Amino acid sequence: MKKTILVLALLLMAAMAFSACTSSATPETRTETVVETVVVEKAGETVVETVVVEKEVEVPVEPEMPEEPMPDTLVICQGQQPETLYQYGGSMLASSHVYEAIYDGPFDANSFGYQPVIMEKLPSLADGDAVIQTVTVGEGDTVVDDTGEVVVLAAGEGVTVTQTIRPAGCASSDCAIVYEGGELEMDQMVVTFKLLEGLTWSDGTPLTTADSVYSFNLQADPDTPSGKYTIDRTASYEATDDLTSVWTGLPGYKDSTYFLNFFGPNPEHVWGQYTAAELVEAVDADALYTGWGAYIIDEWVKGDHISMHKNPNYWRADEGLPKFENVIYRFVGENSNANIAAILSGECDIVDQTSHLDDQSELLLELQAAGQVNPTFVIGTTWEHADFNIYPADDATGFASWDTDGDGIGPFGDIRLRQAVAMCMDRQAVVDTVMFGQSIVLDTYIPPEHPLFADTVKHWPFDVEAAGALLDEIGWLDDDGDATTPRVASGVTGVPDGTLLEFSYGTTSATQRQQATQVMAESMALCGIKVNLEYYPASEWFADGPDGDLFGRRTDLGQFAWLTGVEPSCDLYLTEAIPGPEDAINQFTGETFAYGWGGWNQTGYSNPEYDQVCNAALQSLPGEDSYTENHIRAQEIFGEELPVVPLYLRLKLAATRPDMCDFIMDPTANSEFWNIENFGYGALCNE
């Protein structure tokens, strides 16, 4: 009986609701002018005419629908929690995502270019807010030499190191001279920056260039754990008024990104009470989260979330930005299935890159087709590559350690072997299967979309027959007629006859890398190359030498990724960057290893022409012929000699609710939240 009454009550409520809906849709009557056709008799004939008449018509009235409520909170789910929110305390992507809400600029890096955010413009030599002036230098002055290193000019008795510098007007090593004392003129860059007017910190305090100078001094402090490359090459950085700052480089230093040498402001009125050393720990106190961006931090509950609210002093507030009243960064871990489910249930509006959705690409594409989730796949600037061990460490024991002619160079010193291996790696199959066709195969260290990409660079397709011909030429022969068994050495210089063409292929234990290397191991087997796949924890794989096998120059072939961006990274393969013991000699330079075990060119590749053109490119300015020409030539040498096999671009992958708007991932923007102030969903997308 109770059940029956309940059902009847529900039906009655439904009926009342239906009645309410239908009554509001009762048609109204109104008079309209209409055109009608009529049949009339004229002169004994029946004719059809059109006439204009007024008549009453019934017009249905649509019920008024309630307005869709404006969402006020954006929930961002991150796979990782920032280690710190101190900008100089770490470089986690998870931290960068949060920085985008607290700060805004001062520059963005989109589409392989830079854009000013809180600056009036990017300074340029063409506009005159960047200039190259001539200064007089002499003994005891600090300058930058022809190789780009900072030196103090010295000459005469007791000076044993030759100093080669570029005099005024000299833009390459061809016109560099040896310093022999006295005075001479050198070029010096001076760049002027202008802040936008009306900027304030989130607490209402005016933001000025004095805050930028404070940032420069803070970064220059030895206790601040940040890179000092540009700072070491800076003669001065000063504020000339509240909106203007001037950067002056050391004589001889030409910075190709001089227009970025504005130091992002820090709030001296808040942070100034602490030393540089104290800030490393103290800055993560809630009271110190002071920025100029779209949002202000309310609290950071470690291990759970960071909550924020709209910054009323945001410099774009009069544009109606940001759109959300509140933002919550939730730390949800890297379980891709759970994170996708969280979007479907509405718990998360965005799941970011750090959630590692890569292993669910196929599912995400299916959900996108069903209109349930909107994944964003962007080919980024992080590129995977397989690196040959050309110059193995003394304690290396693998295939690469065969000393082919007593010069310390192993079998991979033969360019033909590197080229053959490249043609035996079916990189396109990896893109098609592991990457679900969302990436591309690379030929060099920058993608084809880059404005400095060299379309003249050599392409090495998957070609078993061509690779086999090269291997035969070297002396790696298929002696049993079975292409799937390892080839054997027969007359290979420095390698005993009968040695199998078999070597290790190492990488991290990441799922996607395991899948990729398995595909390429199978394709290399078709060439008679046997590879033994080895997987390591990331902490072990990327350890500096001599502990780590990769950077300790003991791995035969090793896969990992480098990040490139707006500036082509030819410096990855400079001779001086080969890692090794600080007290040992780099046989290519005849000097000790410049960076010790901290060097990054663990391939051991060395080519004097490559070094020359790369260094020339790095010391040229955008717009100069030498800048473009040398970057292109460096890629051509790299593409021909292949110290590494460029594999494919890593994907930047994030997912959002299907009605998200203005969520834009860009190849060269580090974080997908670079324009978080514009994000919206639902009714906010119509604002």
Amino acid letter, residue 542: F
pLDDT tens profile 217-258: 999 999 998 889 899 999 999 999 999 999 999 999 999 899
Lowest mean pLDDT among 37-46, 125-134, 666-675: 37-46
Lowest mean pLDDT among 205-219, 243-257, 527-541, 559-573: 559-573
pLDDT at 363 over 50: yes
- Name every residue whose Cβ is closer than 8 Å to that of residue 370 and which is 6 or more positions away in sequence: none
Average pLDDT over residues 598-604: 94
What integer pLDDT is reported at residue 49 of this predicted model? 52
Task: Measure the CA–CA gap between 663 and 352, rounded to whole angstroms.
Answer: 11
104 touches 118 (CB < 8 A): yes
Structure tokens at 311: 């910054």
Residue with tokens 């309209």: 32
Structure tokens at 255: 């910075």
Residue 3: pLDDT band by 50, 70, 90 thresholds?
A: very low
pLDDT tens profile 502-517: 999 999 998 889 999 9
Structure tokens at 301: 């509950």
Task: Measure the CA–CA gap between 258 and 622, rounded to whole angstroms.
Answer: 10
pTM (2 d.p.): 0.77
pLDDT at 25 over 70: no
Task: Measure the CA–CA gap between 292 and 307, rounded to whole angstroms.
Answer: 17
pLDDT tens profile 625-657: 889 999 999 999 999 999 999 999 998 999 999
What integer pLDDT is reported at residue 20 of this predicted model? 40
Amino acid letter, residue 268: E
Residue 37: pLDDT band by 50, 70, 90 thresholds?
A: very low
Task: Measure the CA–CA gap between 299 and 288, rounded to whole angstroms.
Answer: 11
* Bridge partners, 508 (sequence order): 536
Helices (H), 113-263: 209-220, 229-232
- CATH code 3.40.190.10 region(s) in the chain: 79-105+206-246+265-379+652-686
What integer pLDDT is reported at residue 661 of this predicted model? 97
Residues 355, 357, 363, 367, Cα dihedral to 10° = 50
What integer pLDDT is reported at residue 42 of this predicted model? 58
300 touches 101 (CB < 8 A): no
pLDDT tens profile 226-236: 889 899 999 99
What integer pLDDT is reported at residue 481 of this predicted model? 81
Structure tokens at 342: 């969280």
User: Over the chain, what is the mean pLDDT?
Assistant: 89
Residue by residue, DSSP assigns 53-81 as EEEEEEE--PPPPPPPPPP-EEEEEESS-
pLDDT tens profile 301-310: 999 999 999 9
Task: Measure the CA–CA gap between 674 and 658, rounded to whole angstroms.
Answer: 20
Lowest mean pLDDT among 333-342, 363-372, 562-571, 671-680: 562-571
- Name every residue whose Cβ is closer than 8 Å to that of residue 1 and which is 6 or more positions away in sequence: none
SS3 34: strand
Name the CATH superfamily for 79-105+206-246+265-379+652-686.
Periplasmic binding protein-like II (3.40.190.10)
pLDDT at 41 over 70: no
220 touches 233 (CB < 8 A): no
What integer pLDDT is reported at residue 281 of this predicted model? 85
9 or 479: which leads in pLDDT: 479
What integer pLDDT is reported at residue 24 of this predicted model? 44
Task: Measure the CA–CA gap between 613 and 629, rounded to whole angstroms.
Answer: 9
Residue with tokens 């059902």: 7
Name the CATH superfamily for 380-650.
Dipeptide-binding Protein; Domain 3 (3.10.105.10)
pLDDT tens profile 285-323: 777 889 999 999 999 999 999 999 999 999 999 999 999
- CATH code 3.10.105.10 region(s) in the chain: 380-650
101 touches 352 (CB < 8 A): no
Sign of CA dihedral 634, 640, 646, 652: positive
Could you tell me the CA-to-CA distances from 37 to 33, 47, 468 in Å, in that order? 13, 10, 85
pLDDT at 496 over 60: yes
Task: Measure the CA–CA gap between 545 and 554, rounded to whole angstroms.
Answer: 9
**CA 90 to chain CA centroid, nearest Å:** 16
| Percent of the chain at pLDDT exceeding 90 | 73
Residue 683: pLDDT band by 50, 70, 90 thresholds?
A: very high
| Percent of the chain at pLDDT exceeding 70 | 90
- Using a 10 angstrom Cβ sphere, with 0-12 exposed, 13-18 middle and 19 or more buried, the burial of residue 198 is exposed
- Name every residue whose Cβ is closer than 8 Å to that of residue 116 and which is 6 or more positions away in sequence: 105, 106, 107, 122
Strongest mean pLDDT among 14-28, 65-79, 538-552: 538-552
Average pLDDT over residues 347-352: 97
Structure tokens at 290: 């002071």
35 touches 52 (CB < 8 A): yes
Residue 28: pLDDT band by 50, 70, 90 thresholds?
A: low
273 closest CA partner among 226, 232, 214, 314: 214
Residue 557: pLDDT band by 50, 70, 90 thresholds?
A: very high
What integer pLDDT is reported at residue 619 of this predicted model? 83
